[in-house]
Amino acid sequence: MAEVDHTYVIDPENAGELARLMQQDRLLTEGMGGLFPEGQLLPEGGRVLDLACGPGGWALEVAFHYPRVEVIGIDISPLVIEYAQAQAQSRGLRNVRFQVGNVMEPLAFADASFDLINGRALSGFMLPAAWPRLLTECSRLLKPGGILRLTEGELPLTTSPAYERFSSLIAEAFRRAGQSFSPDGRHLGITPVLPRMVRQAGFEEVRLRASAIEWSMGTEMYYPVFKDHLAGMELIRPFLVKVGLIGQEELGTLIQQAMAEMQQEDFCALWTLLTVWGRKPTTTASTTV
């Protein structure tokens, strides 16, 4: 299979990453309170675009619950798109389709094609300079009055010293790789700047909704998020070593310590997500004679 040119910190063609994203799709939707917890409405015969859709979990659920809406998912990974399309066929969903596409480049859709555009966790590959271009492209693709809906998060907060050390390495690695908005590399920095970027792209009625997923030991979400992080910590190892922050052996020891601490009875953790949505203006400014 040809290598995919990308800026993902985890290889999107990795089969382990596909398995992780399949599970993460479900836990994010559940943790956020559903497909559209902010209350967006989809019109009969409407069209929805899911950016960097991964295995297609969100898009497939929207297609299932809104059979009169057409859903399109795009992702850079041919492997992931093949899986998502197979899922759509196996579930008999005729109102959803998936295609390969890079959201950091112009998308091959006509102007005013969609009623809603969704994107979740795009900061895993988006470069800061690419965000304004993507938001402008979304504005082009949306119908007047259409909704742009983006969900991003910072790294979780936990009571595990080793996990916190690991998180600090990820944040600094993103900064060194030029994929962070943080001024000092202590966090990813996407959540405070996202609302402003959406407004600067011309969207109106920009609103925010925060979600908090508690995955402390003993909670319902503990195991799903723990499993997600267990896989993610291994998959992101090459990225951390590549940027020169830590050696392979030391990193392996750190991950083992974090795993042990995350399984302690008194382990506490919180993962916060921010959804930002705005509406494309229905009219453009005009002059009267």
Q: Taking all residues of the chain, what is their mean pLDDT, rounded to a whole number? A: 92
Q: What is the pLDDT of residues 165-194, one digit of tens each?
A: 999 999 999 999 999 999 999 999 999 999
- Give the range among 39-43, 143-147, 215-219 with minimum mean pLDDT: 39-43
Answer whether residue 1 shows pLDDT above 70. no
pLDDT (mean) for 91-111: 95
pLDDT (mean) for 31-49: 94
CATH class in words for 15-274: alpha beta
Beta strands in 192-233, from DSSP E residues, in sequence order: 204-214
Q: Give 16 or 230, the one with higher predicted confidence.
A: 230
Whole-angstrom distance, CA of residue 285 vs CA of residue 276: 24
SS3 for 221?
A: coil
What is the CA angle 153-63-123, rounded to 5? Answer: 20
Answer whether residue 287 shows pLDDT above 70. no
> Where exactly are the structural domains of the chain?
15-274
Whole-angstrom distance, CA of residue 230 vs CA of residue 283: 48
Q: How many CA atoms lie within 13 A of 51 on its CB side?
A: 30
- Look at residue 65 in the predicted model and tell me its pLDDT: 96
Which region, left, alpha or beta, applies to residue 284 given φ > 0 means left and ψ of -120 to 50 means alpha? beta
Q: What is the pLDDT of residues 66-79, one digit of tens each?
A: 999 999 999 999 99
51-86 in b/e burial notation, b at 16+ Cβ within 10 A?
bbbbbbbbbbbbbbebeebbbbbbbbbebbbebbbe
Residue 163 CB partners (closer than 8 Å, separation 6+): 156, 229, 258, 261, 262
Tokens of 213: 């997923």
* Single pTM value for the model: 0.92
**How many beta carbons lie within 10 A of that of residue 184, not counting itself?**
10
